[in-house]
Chains A and B, each alone.
Chain A
């Protein structure tokens, strides 16, 4: 019985320690715009959607925001932004070849080389705001799915716009080329981004 209790204590302690370690790792692997050539997340994203001329990335996280659940597979990239004020998974960022739109409105884009569409999905006054922002560019589309659970409505959108940005495929290609001293190309010789 003593061993069982000891094992239980170790499990609980391990579970307690695992959380901060996992958080550290997650932060270290976030798709940062600044270090495209030095770490693989953004390169993997470029490989997942080889036609995409722009790739979503994290510019600068405002206080209280974090990145989690980075998922990359061929054809699709997804990661989340979490906030200590508006909730976990407040923003889901998805990169794919194509997007599916709802009732969108075109608005001026804040990122060169992209077209921006916006939609409001639902508003629960004082409690929740759900919406989406779509960025269209040659060879791909990025969607921010917003789910703010607070009385701030769409106000955190400003922080999201500051946090998220884009890196062009050309810039990534150049960065990788510099980092690997020209040894390794981003794309296969016969395929170039449109």
Chain B
């Protein structure tokens, strides 16, 4: 397309206001060497449990390996069993045989898959993986130990129940305990529900253990050792991999990307903001959760005269992974578009956002003023703090007149002039306050983007503005800042997937095909720009991902089958 002369621009508009937020800062504090960060990673107590259990297991293994102590243990089991066997009565035996069903494979299967289902429904994948791993781990360990010890069933007593394999440790007790403890830590919120749950678990495990000893299916030491394994592995797994302070069990609605900012993390954020930015935090609240899927947005009330607000986005490892998956998905679906290289660390991710904010601000684009990065847990959790655009409404809920349209289009012109692309122009990222549009969420911003990427920004801005006005009006105003070729290029570059989903939904809700309406207004159409990018890398990646997914599925199914969970 031949470049054409740009029409006479509108007045540049009023200069972008800087330092719009009055924030009172007191002294900042540097964390000295050796001092723990605000939210230390090692806030888990699972390590002690693991060490203590490891010691017990080692001592126990040594005791079983020695003929003398082993004979004492067998004798101890037998003497206790003798006493229990003397209590046997028909009615009690029936009762115990019923209780024995608690340890059956079907009970475990039902509990296990029910928990998996609930965790899938609530999209708590971290808890799901820890639960599945802990239960499968307990099954594997108890089976391995049983195979290594090859201990017989209680000797010298008539066995009244069904059994399979060696007796030590008691596999039913270990697996039922692990499943129940896993359910408790993945389904029950911390506090009273979990405390009550612990009682229930203790009673159920005790009943099962008693029944197994009564029926002489297992000896007393078998069930005790089984219970130790069944409690310890899930407990340690949850405390180390999904600590409640960081990944609490809640049943509130919302994006799974959002982290809990209460409890220990909330305190850490308070402390970090005060130490690193020198501000006095009055209140910290999640804000606009529905519009954000890639971070946890927060509104920070800062002490002052009067109090003022800051906006903060909390990024963690889960957001980094989400970003990677998102980019992988886009590469698979469309080929590598541009600047879609995933980030390696959370630090890099927040640095990109902070840099983009400063770039926008420096380029004269009306976007939130950056206030810096706050470290919560080194390399794992950071806050990006910016000005809070107080009193603003989304463009999708605002009155859009010609001044607003001009302002929105001017933002694109400034981005173009500065060699930038925002790449996520949608109603949620355009806030209107005092007759001006503010561009927020600049995480995806790109320096020196391709002309295609810039054209998409223009088309999306025009489409967003048209959702609150008319295509004719937006097109007329756009021709004051962009020539016909540029506008035609914008709509040639834009098709379904280049429009953010929120924008597509807004158009769907209105029952309007704004893209087609704009095309009708163009004096000349440009040929559509293809989005799909095929390369050997993409094909290889598709095959690799398919093979890995297949391998993961086969491995999981094989593990479940050998663990008796299928």
Contacts and interface: CB of A to CB of B under 8 A. Distances in A.
Nearest to B81: A188
B162 A74 contact: yes
A183 B74 contact: yes
Interface stretch (B131-139, B163-171, B350-358): B163-171
B162 A73 contact: yes
B159 interface: yes
Contacts of A181: 71
A2 to B, nearest CB: 10
Nearest to A3: B324
Contacts of B67: 179
A180 B153 CA distance: 15
Contacts of A73: 162-165
Interface in A10-56: 11, 25, 29, 39-41, 43-44, 47, 50
B165 A72 contact: yes
B555 interface: yes
A187 interface: yes
A4 interface: yes
Contacts of B162: 73-74
A190 interface: yes
Contact of A183 (B78, B153, B555): B78
Given A29-B150, A43-B152, A47-B152, A184 B75 contact: yes
A72 B164 contact: yes
Interface in B113-162: 147-153, 155-159, 161-162
B345 to A, nearest CB: 13
B207 interface: no
A47 B162 CA distance: 12
Contact of A180 (B74, B151, B161, B163): B74
A184 B74 contact: yes
B105 to A, nearest CB: 12
B373 to A, nearest CB: 25
A50 B166 CA distance: 16
A87 interface: no
A74 B162 CA distance: 6
A47 B153 contact: yes
B82 to A, nearest CB: 9
Contact of B155 (A8, A43, A72, A74): A43
A31 B71 CA distance: 21
Contacts of B158: 188, 190-191
Most chain A CB atoms below 10 A, which of B147, B151, B161: B147
B71 A183 contact: yes
Contacts of A25: 147-148
B303 to A, nearest CB: 43
Contact of B156 (A41, A74, A188): A188
A185 interface: yes
A186 interface: yes
A185 B71 CA distance: 12
Interface string B69-112: 00100110010000000000000000000000000000000000
A64 interface: no
Nearest to B162: A74
Interface in A160-194: 176, 179-181, 183-191
Contacts of B155: 43, 47, 176, 184-186
Interface residues of A, number: 29
A71 B150 CA distance: 12
B159 A40 contact: no
B385 to A, nearest CB: 30
Which residue, of B75, B152, B161, B163, has the highest number of chain A Cβ atoms within 10 A? B152
Nearest to B160: A74
Given A73-B164, A74-B163, A184-B75, A40 B152 contact: yes
B56 interface: no
Contact of B150 (A4, A44, A180, A188): A44
A29 B147 contact: yes
A32 B158 CA distance: 25
Contacts of A71: 164-165
Contacts of B151: 40
Contacts of B71: 179-181, 183-184
Given A11-B555, A185-B156, A188-B157, A39 B163 contact: no
A72 B148 CA distance: 15
B548 interface: yes
Contacts of A44: 150, 152-153, 165-166
B522 interface: no
Nearest to A72: B165
A131 B153 CA distance: 33
Contacts of B74: 180, 183-184
Interface in B340-376: none
Contacts of B150: 29, 39-41, 44
Nearest to B151: A40
Contacts of B166: 40, 44, 72
Nearest to B70: A180
B548 A189 contact: no
B551 interface: yes
A180 to B, nearest CB: 5
A47 B164 contact: no
B537 to A, nearest CB: 11
Interface in A59-74: 71-74
A29 B148 CA distance: 8
A193 to B, nearest CB: 14
Nearest to A191: B158
9 contacts: A25-B148, A39-B150, A43-B152, A43-B155, A44-B166, A72-B164, A74-B159, A183-B75, A188-B156
7 pairs of A and B residues whose beta carbons are closest in the complex: A40-B150, A73-B164, A43-B152, A185-B156, A183-B75, A188-B158, A40-B152
Interface of A: 4, 8, 11, 25, 29, 39-41, 43-44, 47, 50, 71-74, 176, 179-181, 183-191
